Structure formats: C-alpha cells, structure tokens
Amino acid sequence: MTAAAGAPGRARLWDPPNRAVVAGVFGLMTFIAFESFAITTALPVIARSLEAEQWYSLAFAATATTGLVGMTVGGRWADLRGVRRPLVAGGALFLAGIALCALAPGMGTFVVGRLLQGVGGGIDSVVLYVVIARYIPEDLRPRMFGLLTAAWLLPSILGPLVTGALVELMHWRTVFALVLAGSALSLAVLLGATRSAPAPRGEGSPVGRRGVWAVAAAVAVLGLHVAGQQEMPWLAVGTVAGTAAAALAAGRLLPAGTLRARAGIPRLVAFRGVLGAANAATDIYLPLYLQHRLDFSPVASGAVVAIGAFGWALGAWVQGRAGVPAGSPASLRAAAALTLCGPVAALGLVTGVLPLWAAVLGCVLMGTGMGLAYPQVSTLVLGLSPAAEQGGNSSALQVSESLGTSLLIAVTGAVLTASALTGYGLVYGVVAGTALLAATLTLTFTRPPAPEAAEPAG
C-alpha cells in the first residue's frame, strides 16, 4: 500500500490498509525510545554488577556516538536502495546489540552491544520517517507524527519507573530481554507490511563522504573515552588528539560555520548541540549519584528522572498553545534559561547546597525549557532553509546533538573517573557551564527576515 491509498477526508490512521505499517513503526520507535530512557536508571546497577564503574560514561555514550553513523547512512541508503534493506540491516544490528547487552558477561561485551545498537537504531530511526513518507497517505501524516511523539513521550515518563521495577524485582538483564522481544516483533510486522516495496537502484554508495566523516567522528569520540581512562601524559595526548579529530569531522558533517556559531542556521545548529548535550549529561549522572552516593533504589532514582520528563511534556504543550511566533528570540532565551536550571540545581544537590526537591524542580524546569526550545529551533531551521536543503539541515540538528552529547559525556566521564567517582561537583560544574554557553548564544539571536542559502558542509 503506497501513500496514495486512502480516501481523502475519510481515511483513519488505523484503517486496515495502514494498520500494519503504523503498528510496526510505532512499536519499533517505542522500544528504541524505551531503551534510551531505561538505560539512565539501569546503568548504575549494571556498572556495579559488572564491576566496571569507570566505564560508565562510555557505556552510556556508545549508542549516541555510533548513532551518528547510523543516522548519516540511513537516509541516503533508503533513497538509493529503498526502505527494506536498511530496515533489515539496521534492525539486525539493533537486535544483535540488545542481545549482547542482555547476555554480557563483562563490560567489554556490554559496550560492544551498545555500539551495535547505536548504529542499528540510528539507521532505523531515520528510515522510519522514509517509511511514513512512502506508505502513509499525506493527509494522515500529521497524525502519524503525533503518534511518534507519543512513542517518545510515554517511554520518557514510564521508562525509568518500569526499568526501576524490573531491576529491583527481577534483574537488569530483563530490561534488555523486554526490548529485544518487543523490537523483534515490531520489526517483523513492519517488514511484512513493506514486503512489496519497490527497490530503486540509485547510483553511489549508501555510505558516501558524509558517512566516512561520521565514522571518523565516532572513532574520535571513542578515542576520547579511552584516553580518559589513561594516566598522564597519555590522558593529555589522547584528549588533545581526540578533540582535534572530532572537531575536524564535525566541520565536515555540520553546516559551514557551525563551530564558530555563525549567525543563521549554523548558530541554531550549534545551539541545539550544546543545549541537548547539557540536558542529556544532567540526566545521565543524576541516577548514578542518587544510587551510589545517596543509596536510592532504582525505582526511586527512576522516579526523579520521570518527574523531570513531565517538564518536557509541559514545555511542548505550552509551545503548541501559547501562540509564540516561530523564532522569537525572547522565547529561545527563556527556554535556555529554564534549561540552565537543571544542571545548576544538580550542582547544588551534589555539593550539599540544595535539597533533593530543589534538584527535582530544576530538572522539571530544564525539561520545560527543552520542550519550548526544540520546536522553535526546528521550525526556524526549516524556515531558513531552501527546499532542497531542508532535509540536510534537519539532519544536522540531530547530528549536532548526538555529537555534542557524546563529546560532553567523554569529558565529564574522564573528570569523574579521575576523581574516583567522587567528583560530581566538578562534573556538574562543566555541565552547567555548557548550558550557560547555550544561554549565551541566545543573546545574539535575532529574528531572521528571509531564508538563507546555507553553505555546504566543509
């Protein structure tokens, strides 16, 4: 069934012609999202169980790092070869990675599993949008994208709580077994629904030049994580070399001028990367601190993360109903200021200045800021982009966030390891500084008058 199917004005998203595709896409995206939120609660227990707490940051960042490769390759592969081949390859890598995590006898195997699922999840998360474009009628796509929002929102709220319960009542491996079973079923449904898909034979390699640079960026970030575990002088040498290599690759993957935060699309892409990194790092280390330093149970630490997720939903709801014009500099400044509350409050908690309730409130405000900022930035970038560059610039937003998150976690992971897992104050100082940088970028935002012709990456 192609996108042309369905009677205008009468078609429903769950009508029989669309049902299998909708169920497969929704299910697969839900389990990808569930795993990404579940790991925040489960990983402190996993690191302690596998006696490898020094590799906590790498184990977390592995999927975001190799996800760069998957996201870069997935869309091009679908354009050149159709959706089935990348769906199969991405799904197989994701399932293999989840299986390795579930069975891992040590942290080495667990990290390899995380790396594989990052590539596979990155491929499929992009290809699913191509599936929607080719199989869902145009008048139903807004509802389908709304459903995908739910596929991320529900796991963000329920994932940490469900994970905490599974870890406490059963075992942390149960979390990955659940994701494995659900993802495999969803992928099977989706492949069955797309079995009649045409297979175009476009020219060129699915990897392409950007794919090569994405691999280089991933290798550089992984090198930073490894360097962070070394003694001086190798720590300093590896950090400098890894940072230089990551910056070089980022310059090829992102719009020209992004690293300098040049006005227009490059500054918005840089803002998304810095803001998203600060948000992710705040959420990553809070459950570790709560479980290892304050003796919180997995359920209790998961509840803190889940409460913060309500803020994101609140911000998105306000943004959708407040009627704020797209690209309002004042609204972006407010969003950045709210996001800064998260790492600042966490810094206050780990240094003994603020109570837990203040840190939770800070995380809610941070989520509200993110819910306000993301639609604004995405709308602005699409409005500034010529039609032929909308897809590439939208992809740049995701790549910037993934790369920024991976780099920040590499740096903070090295700080935490060097201080024998006691340097939470310094870690959150770095994260708060990153969020402050994002807020500083908004001081130079002005409403752009017209679309610009973005320069090619390079």
Domain boundaries, the chain: 13-206, 208-253, 254-447
Q: Is residue 335 a contact partner of residue 316, using CB atoms and an 8 Å limit?
A: no
User: Which token pair is 355?
Assistant: 């109570």
The predicted structure's pLDDT at residue 453: 46
Report residue 370: phi and psi, to 5°: -65, -40
Q: What is the pLDDT of residue 390?
A: 60
* 141-169 and 107-135 helices, crossing angle to 10°: 160
Mention every residue, 6+ apart, whose C-beta is less than 8 A from residue 56.
43, 44, 47, 288, 413, 416
Positive or negative, the Cα torsion across 178, 183, 184, 189?
A: positive
Fold type of domain 13-206 = Growth Hormone; Chain: A; (1.20.1250)
- Which pLDDT score is estimated for 160? 86
CB 442 within 8 A of CB 329: yes
pLDDT of residue 383: 72
With tokens 């070089």, the residue in question is: 248
Q: Does 254-447 match 13-206 at the fold level?
A: yes
pLDDT number for residue 422:
56
Architecture of domain 254-447: Up-down Bundle (1.20)
Q: Please report the DSSP string for 139-196 in residue order.
A: GGHHHHHHHHHHHHHHHHHHHHHHHHHHHHHT-HHHHHHHHHHHHHHHHHHHHHHTTT
* 321/91 Cα distance (integer angstroms): 37
Q: Output the pLDDT for position 159.
A: 85
Residue 56: per-residue pLDDT: 84
Confidence at residue 387, expressed as pLDDT on a 0 to 100 scale: 62
| Burial class for 318, CB neighbours closer than 10 Å (0-12, 13-18, 19+) | middle
Alpha carbons 152 and 312: distance in angstroms, whole number: 11
Tell me what pLDDT residue 303 has.
Answer: 86
Cβ neighbours around 269 below 10 Å, total: 28
The whole-angstrom separation of Cα 21 and Cα 122 is 19
Q: Which of 406, 413, 442, 417 is nearest to 430 (CA)?
A: 413
Q: What is the pLDDT of residue 451?
A: 46
**Mean pLDDT, each 10-residue run in order, the chain (458 residues):** 46 78 90 88 90 84 87 79 86 95 94 94 84 78 75 83 90 94 93 73 68 87 80 77 86 87 89 93 90 88 84 76 66 92 95 93 92 80 69 75 88 75 82 95 70 46
pLDDT for 324: 57
* pLDDT score recorded for residue 454: 43
